[in-house]
Amino acid sequence: MTARVRYTALTVVFSCVWVSAFVALKIALRDAPPLTLMCSRFFVAGAALLLLARARGARFPRGWRGWWPVIVLGVLMQGIYFGLTSIAINHLSAGLSAVFASTNPVILAMVAPWFLGERLTAARAGGIAVSFGGVLWLMAGRVGADNAPWAAALFFACVCFFVAATILFKRWQLPYDRVLLNGGQLLTGGVVLLVPALATERLELVRLTPSMLAAQAYLTVVISCLAMLVWLWLLDHGDATSASVFFFLNPVWGLILGAVLLGEPLGAGELLAGVVVGLGVWMVQRA
């Protein structure tokens, strides 16, 4: 298997796993407030990864100078992006959430030439346009009317913070073990969300149901620990635009999972739109 094929296969798997987080989050939010849910998940995952990094003999940063980039990434990615989207997603339809999430590669492709020196060629721009057009087509009938404007604005702002974290990670090229880096980010996210969670949410609303515990375990282990490590690996081994373009596949995987697991309808038009999204992703990778 060539390096390009391996990279592409891993990004496709990552995209599928990533979209499953929204399903697990929806399940967990039935029995726990969003910030409390995220805060507890980040503390558990972050502590576990830092202990693992210590056991692996990873070199920990020294002093504030070494830790501050890790903390900044943790605030942007875990504290702001994941923390605030967990609030916004409760006030948006799945379709509109998918559209906003898919603006990630669009925004990144526009700013990457200035901040990362990644060329936005005509072929790349065309592939991004095709994929985003496919997402809009795919979700046109699923956007829904019950969307709070403030939640839409919040979700879009969170995507911008995700893009900022991606750019900083690529620019800084931190020389730290990625298990340690992920653990530090997660623990930072837990600390950032702790005060607002305690101040605005009631702990008695948490119900430790089997479905909530299973969803939270999945989010902690598969998403926070494993998927985030894969995302860091993808950024380490490819440019940011090529890695992020696979976020266009998220709504496609979401509809497929809904059809397979929940029996939701999936028409020929939606399948064709999914093919268009995939075509655009292929165009970017070939550019």
Determine the 3-state secondary structure of 268 from DSSP: helix
Confidence of residue 42 (pLDDT cuts 50, 70, 90): very high
> Between 21 and 219, whose confidence is greater?
219
Of 278, 282, 262, nearest in space to 270 by CA: 278
The amino acid sitting at 64 is: W
> Between 121 and 258, whose confidence is greater?
121
Please tell me the distance from the alpha carbon of residue 275 to that of residue 66, in angstroms, as a whole number: 45
Arithmetic mean of pLDDT over the chain: 87
| Torsion sign across C-alpha atoms 181, 221, 196, 102 | positive
Domain tally for the chain?
1
pLDDT at 63 over 70: yes
Q: Please tell me the least confidently modeled range out of 65-79, 105-119, 211-225.
A: 105-119
What is the pLDDT at residue 251? 80
Q: Please tell me the least confidently modeled range out of 102-106, 221-225, 262-266.
A: 262-266
**Integer CA distances (angstroms), 177 to 19, 46, 195, in order:** 26, 14, 29
Range of the domain at 209: 3-286
Q: Which long-range contacts (CB under 8 A, 24 or more apart) does 22-25 make?
A: 22/89, 22/94, 22/97, 22/254, 23/254, 23/257, 24/215, 24/218, 24/219, 24/223, 25/86, 25/89, 25/215, 25/219
Report the pLDDT averaged over residues 142-171. Answer: 87
Please tell me the distance from the alpha carbon of residue 266 to that of residue 281, in angstroms, as a whole number: 21
Of 82-96, 167-181, 255-269, which one has max mean pLDDT? 167-181
Please tell me the distance from the alpha carbon of residue 14 to that of residue 231, in angstroms, as a whole number: 8
Share above pLDDT 70 across residues of the chain, in percent, rounded to a whole number:
94
pLDDT at 243 over 70: yes
pLDDT at 99 over 80: no
What is the pLDDT at residue 91? 83
Report the pLDDT averaged over residues 92-120. Answer: 82
pLDDT at 211 over 90: yes
pLDDT at 185 over 70: yes
Report the pLDDT averaged over residues 90-117. Answer: 82
Of 110, 116, 165, nearest in space to 132 by CA: 110
